[in-house]
Structure 1
Amino acid sequence: MGNQPLIVLSDDSQRTSGKDAQSMNIQAGKAVSEAVRTTLGPKGMDKMLVDSSGSVIVTNDGVTLLTEMEIDHPAADMIVDVAETQESEVGDGTTSAVVVAGELLKRAEELLDQDIHATTVAQGYRQAAQKATEALDDVAIDVDVDDTEILEQIAATAMTGKGAENARDLLSGLVVDAVRTVADEDGIDAENISVEKVVGGAIENSELVEGVLVNKDRVSDNMPYFVEDANVAVIDGALEVKETEIDAEVNVTDPDQLQQFIEQEEAQLEEMVDELVDVGADAVFVDKGIDDMAQHYLADAGILAVRRVKDSDAQQIARSTGATPVTSVDDITEDHLGFAGSVAQKEIAGDEHIFIEDVEDAKSVTLILRGGTEHVIDEVDRAIEDAIGVVRTTIVDGKVLAGGGAPEIQLSLALRDYADSVGGREQLAVEAFADALEVIPRTLAENAGLDPIDSLVELRSEHDAGETGAGLDAYTGDTIDMEAEGVYEPQRVKTQAIDSATEAAVMLLRIDDVIAAGDLAVADDDEGDDMPAGGPGGMGGGMGGMGGGMGGMM
């Protein structure tokens, strides 16, 4: 081969190596972080997302923003994964996790510029994350899972700044009741908490149904509106005459034969309804259709029937009432029936719903959210989802932390002390990690229109004096005792955020070669000229284009 270069990549491939690759990935991560940073805290701003079809989402929920944004860069996607992991594990703290990840990358970039190797930074970050997790145990507050007041305060903290301010006390009480109701020996499955969004009325009109709410109405007007002390049957099938499995042709030569066919079908349908009557069913929920003649027989028997019930609704009805779903009425017995003190059709904001209430041991509940517009209800729904997540996590773990940036300041001070005992250049990475954590209280201050430097100085002073619960009141700008104020968040929200952010930052820092089949990103500058991808300049332009696009859209 001599000195002839060996080409192993296609002409369309793009390769970025060394510091250029690191810089490219860091810029991508920082751009994602900056896109959501202004939404953090009780005074965070909202973003408006408009998709290609014109659908609008107005929210400040971190994971919603990041999943709806059309991010097309592998490094940026890794930061989005941080938010999704945070959401799935604890249900809240997604914005904090992403902001911390972005700040870790920013601080790492400064160390890389000082010729500190990426593996050294990564090692220091891992040590700092482990120490931070241990330090959180020292300031964690034990919570009695039966302490409803603290659970409601935790739910209220999660909903602060998310469109539910006026009804925060009401909603936090409903959330706690809902989570405690569905808890059993197997834990807490949030899938057993349904949220029914109803446009009309005010948020204050929201209510909790200890049972199931089905967005359907009874199949016949001749059926009763209300059944008291109802035996409930759930049928995973249809109340219709079965069709033949093979194609068949029937020749009818006279009207009597046709009449016989009709009468035979009616007899089969009547027999199905008789099976339900014999076992004592008062309310029937069917997965598929109900024949018109079957509807007639059911109405004559005084049975309230609902057809085409969603699988999720059927499962909740079964769980709530104790019913056992059957695939055919031929198999039903009294043991398959559930019980509800009340099954009734009621109107909410002009729509008919079936309420299944007064069950003996409600392990499935429905939260009815009311609001003036669809956008308002959607945002409150996202706040409720976060609140459910933090209450569930608190009940499972039994440990919380004071909010308002207090844990981050405490960790920052602890890590600076710890850095003195760390040898080598890793000490600089630990100190950078400590600085990065302060991005949370600093951002809370910035979003509240306060001076971040003054706020940080005051917070550090309070924590140096031993006030571990001192946090920033975004409304007044004062440093207050968050524990006394009742501002809490689960410990796992912080530990998960730190772990996920650290893992993502370390993974990006350890990448020194990016090989792509095509351009990673192409953006247009102000003059409309194409900006090529490749190298830190091209990637910076690409991510800048994304950030600028989001800025213009938001």
Structure 2
Amino acid sequence: MALAFDEFGRPFIILREQEKKSRLRGLDAQKANIAAGKAVARILRTSLGPKGMDKMLQSPDGDVTITNDGATILEQMDVDNQIAKLMVELSCSQDYEIGDGTTGVVVMAGSLLEQAEKLLERGIHPIRIAEGYELASRIAFDHLEHISHKFEFSATNIEPLVQTCMTTLSSKIVNRCKRTLAEIAVKAVLAVADLERKDVNLDLIKVEGKVGGKLEDTELVYGIIVDKDMSHPQMPKRIEDAKIAILTCPFEPPKPKTKHKVDIDTVEKFQMLREQEQKYFDEMVQKCKDVGATLVICQWGFDDEANHLLMHRNLPAVRWVGGVELELIAIATGGRIVPRFQELSPEKLGKAGIVREKSFGTTKDRMLYIEQCANSRAVTIFIRGGNKMMIEETKRSLHDALCVARNLIRNNSIVYGGGSAEISCSVAVEAAADRYPGVEQYAIRSFADALDAIPLALAENSGLSPIDTLTAVKSQQVKESNPHCGIDCNDVGTNHMKEQNVFETLIGKQQQILLATQVVKMILKIDDVISPSDY
């Protein structure tokens, strides 16, 4: 940018490469931004609810993903527009914080933008709209707190947790097994949860998948499953009361760090070298035996000679185990990861009641089960399915269920689903709008209309008449002053969500409203878009 003067001394600005930049200003910029946000929301709208459709995404290298998880769809989409990228980040932040409700938050943001567009056309200033939205989101936030319920659960009574996880899974492709999967998710979370501190470390839950079998074969293992087998086919396939040495040092003779060359010109020298290597291997295996190890798990490989020696010395071994798996094995068995053979000692060994190798089907694929560990606070969910895409989608669905169970342990307040919470908030926000003088009142009313987008989308995706269904439920809520009436998506015959056992976490719903409002405020405040034009 440069400042220049014409012949009359008037200043003007020269923009560098001005003809290569395109610029949108004022209302045009806001309308273009709103159109981009609405386009992203429209893609996800059909994926909402138990009857939502799935999307099929193909990556540049030919990998196919089939999913209806909002965050996954948006992450895999190649989005160029900057505003659309904001919507993608919105969905991701909901996924990181809550783990569920990623589709709903984008649909809500799209609806808020749609309502804002109507207000902008009426000449209302975008800042006033943003302020009105902020006021309305606070009203909705407090109202959710008001209509929420606390429910009690314990390690013995897990039914409330299972019901809430089933609500999450009912909108996924795995909904025919939702009861089984919800129970697995809840048991896994309770196994690693610290109920006193109300904290759950989801890193301790490992989710493994193997193609083959059917979805009903999915199981929860109180221990670790490693996708490896014993390094030698003649090693024992089952070890009881195993004492496990967990090593990150290779079973190989040490190599000098500097460049070196060994000249061998006689047979004797070669034999000496050979004997020295043999001695190294012998010492390594002996150190493991001396401390009382009955199984060695090594991060690195070892050559055939070491493998043969381990087999002869009756010391089963597993090689090429990844770093994350090693850590989980160490946590589960109460062992320590040992970086050098010299540091091996009996107290650093992990303990497991049973280590067994299991083969699947006719493919001879084997996996190692480490069960009955000293510290059972690391568990594995082992998923079976007909194909790779099914397993990947089940992993994503289970992740949502695990997050919901974790959120309920942190905060056991729930609201009812099926769009009932949104309709109730919409009624409350509409009623509160009259208390505010000034232009913000219009924005607050628009916010109430935008909240109806979720129940409308639910009704539409379930094949019901959207407007008729919504108006009937809304009038029933107001008439009976009952905030639990929602959209009967599954055609059960009652729209009372308490009877249908459709629950959602309170913090998830509150987060949705706050995040959607923040992003929409940010988009409305942009009035000038300068972008490099396409070549």
Please state which band the TM-score falls in when normalised by the shorter chain: over 0.9
The counterpart of 1:488, out of the listed 503, 507, 527, is 503
In structure 1, the residue matched to 2:458 is 444
Query: Residue 416 of structure 1 contacts residue 431 of structure 1 at CA under 8 Å; is this kept in 2?
Result: yes
The counterpart of 2:159, out of the listed 133, 144, 149, is 149
- Give the drift of 1:145: 4.1
The counterpart of 2:286, out of the listed 269, 274, 292, is 274
- Give the drift of 1:29: 0.1
The counterpart of 1:300, out of the listed 312, 318, 341, is 312
- Give the drift of 1:517: 2.6
What is the CA–CA distance in structure 2 between the aligned matches of 1:371 and 1:402, rounded to whole Å? 31
1:355 aligned to 2:345? no
Q: Secondary structure at the match of 2:74?
A: helix
User: Which structure 2 segments of 5+ residues have no match?
Assistant: none
Q: Where do 1:92-111 residues align within 5 Å? A: 92-111=100-119
The counterpart of 1:159, out of the listed 169, 178, 195, is 169
* Cα pair distance change 1:461/1:391, threshold 3 Å: same
- Give the drift of 1:137: 0.7
Query: Residue 23 of structure 2 contacts residue 529 of structure 2 at CA under 8 Å; is this kept in 1?
Result: yes
Q: Secondary structure at the match of 1:82?
A: helix
What is the CA–CA distance in structure 2 between the aligned matches of 1:507 and 1:340, rounded to whole Å? 54
- Give the drift of 1:477: 7.2
| TM-score, normalised via structure 2 length | 0.94
Q: Secondary structure at the match of 2:337?
A: coil
User: Which structure 1 segments of 5+ residues have no match?
Assistant: 523-554
Offset from partner CA, 1:99-155 (integer Å, 9 cap, x none)? 000000000001111111000000011111112111111111112242411111111
Structure 1, 469-478 or 391-400: larger mean CA deviation: 469-478
What is the CA–CA distance in structure 2 between the aligned matches of 1:25 and 1:418, rounded to whole Å? 29
Q: Secondary structure at the match of 1:107?
A: helix
In structure 2, the residue matched to 1:44 is 52
- Give the drift of 1:348: 2.7
Query: Residue 287 of structure 1 contacts residue 310 of structure 1 at CA under 8 Å; is this kept in 2?
Result: yes
What is the CA–CA distance in structure 1 between the aligned matches of 2:294 and 2:446, rounded to whole Å? 67
In structure 1, the residue matched to 2:409 is 395
Query: Residue 334 of structure 2 contacts residue 374 of structure 2 at CA under 8 Å; is this kept in 1?
Result: no
What is the CA–CA distance in structure 1 between the aligned matches of 2:317 and 2:451, rounded to whole Å? 57
In structure 1, the residue matched to 2:185 is 175
- Kindly report the root-mean-square deviation, in angstroms, between the aligned alpha carbons of the 2 structures: 1.5
Offset from partner CA, 1:42-83 (integer Å, 9 cap, x none)? 001111112333322111111111111111000110011110
The counterpart of 1:212, out of the listed 215, 224, 241, is 224
In structure 2, the residue matched to 1:546 is none
Query: Residue 331 of structure 2 contacts residue 375 of structure 2 at CA under 8 Å; is this kept in 1?
Result: no
In structure 1, the residue matched to 2:64 is 56
Which amino acid is the alignment partner of residue 103 of structure 1? Answer: S
Which amino acid is the alignment partner of residue 15 of structure 2? Answer: V
1:515 aligned to 2:530? yes
Q: Where do 1:78-117 residues align within 5 Å? A: 78-117=86-125
Query: Residue 200 of structure 1 contacts residue 373 of structure 1 at CA under 8 Å; is this kept in 2?
Result: yes
In structure 1, the residue matched to 2:438 is 424
- Give the drift of 1:301: 3.0
Q: Where do 1:199-278 residues align within 5 Å? A: 199-278=211-290
- Give the drift of 1:518: 3.0
Q: Where do 1:472-551 residues align within 5 Å? A: 472-476=487-491, 478-519=493-534
Give the share of equivalent positions with the same residue, in percent: 38
Which amino acid is the alignment partner of residue 179 of structure 2? Answer: D
Aligned residues: 520
The counterpart of 1:8, out of the listed 4, 10, 15, is 15
Offset from partner CA, 1:211-257 (integer Å, 9 cap, x none)? 11100111112211111011112112212111111122222232121
- Give the drift of 1:297: 2.7
The counterpart of 1:346, out of the listed 358, 363, 380, is 358
Query: Residue 229 of structure 1 contacts residue 339 of structure 1 at CA under 8 Å; is this kept in 2?
Result: yes
